[in-house]
Structure 1
Amino acid sequence: MSVIDSIRKQIVPIHHEGYIFILAFAVATAILSYIWQPLGWIGFILTMWCCYFFRDPARTTPMAEGLVISPADGRVSMIASAVPPPELGLSDLPMTRISVFMNVFDCHVNRAPVPGRIEKIAYRPGLFLNADLDKASDDNERSSMIIESNGQRFGIVQIAGLIARRIVSFTREGETLLAGERYGLIRFGSRVDVYLPEGVTPLVGLGQTCVAGETVIADARPAATRTYRTH
């Protein structure tokens, strides 16, 4: 491996959605430095944070059939029974919902939790409450989609947070996603909810830290075929 390849391997790529923000931070830093140098150092730190926020690292996704992978980096803030967003038309009955909360230091590129076809995408404008609150599921701006995977329908909901102001989608209805494939991004603090079909078992606990595209959060295999290691 060459020195250049080694350097490239260590550098985490930045998602293109962040370029305009990084440029704005850099210009502001230059102006602040001209006004007063200590302000310039503050601007420099904020610019580095912006680069860090929009990082887009490679991930290694478990490919075993029936696994549900975390769609977001962050902390499992809720595991509850809840009715999915009405605009999806997914179910009128409560489903198990796993919520992963992303703070401003987490990577905000979202990934498909299961492989399958995007059956529906629905956007709903709303408020910008703290995404860690339960009522954010009902009141906040959100973008929801249904993925049909092996005959099961999963609901995935991106929820804007307190300082988030845009949900970005990279996909369209009818497209097919692989598990762990990038499908969207939320700018700044936010949350992603996953609604699980009946019979799918959560494998994470409250407060657990998840890695998008890598952490297994649920098992969608039939109960009779499930085997787990014991230690």
Structure 2
Amino acid sequence: MEQTESDIDARLAARLRALRAEQGLTLDGLAERAGVSRSMISLVERGRSSPTAAVLDRLAAGLGVSVASLFDGIGAEQASPLSRRADQREWQDPATGYVRRNLTPPGIAAPVTLVEVTMPAGARVTYDTGPRAAVIHQQLYVLEGEIAFTVDGGTVHLRAGDCLASQIDGPSGFHNPADRPARYLVAVATGPARSGAGTAKPGIAKG
């Protein structure tokens, strides 16, 4: 069963509208929170524009959720504890060509969301979002190739088999420095804890 990119954009648009409505936010209110123009949000919510990964990150931060949660429910008519490979929908960033696929069964109450990402050779995805309403707890595990991950102004280089745990509460970025695609898993959980508030924050060596 194949799902077109336009269909995914339409479902993503509906998800964004629903989350905004749940929080009682107007377009202007979300624009102020997310740092994304009202017109851009309107285009995305009407399925008239395919957002980049950076724009999705800003919108997610403005809504107090993770990017992964924006894709929750896409590709499933009802919640199920089983997510078959054929039903796991892929989304491609129009700016960089990186492809993300939510592995966690959509619509279930899971504390952690698992995402698989394929990053093209030389590609770089930068998220410039500032402090978030809720910290994103993340574990990054490289399956193939290598990834340079930047957070808090520090960069760590990861190769196949490496796993990094971190908190995301500011700008971050992923870069594939190699001449072949990289594939990695990201486990994401959203929580209220912030660094310095009782939760240890893994350090990243600057470089």
Using structure 2 for the length normalisation, give the TM-score.
0.29
Using structure 1 for the length normalisation, give the TM-score.
0.27
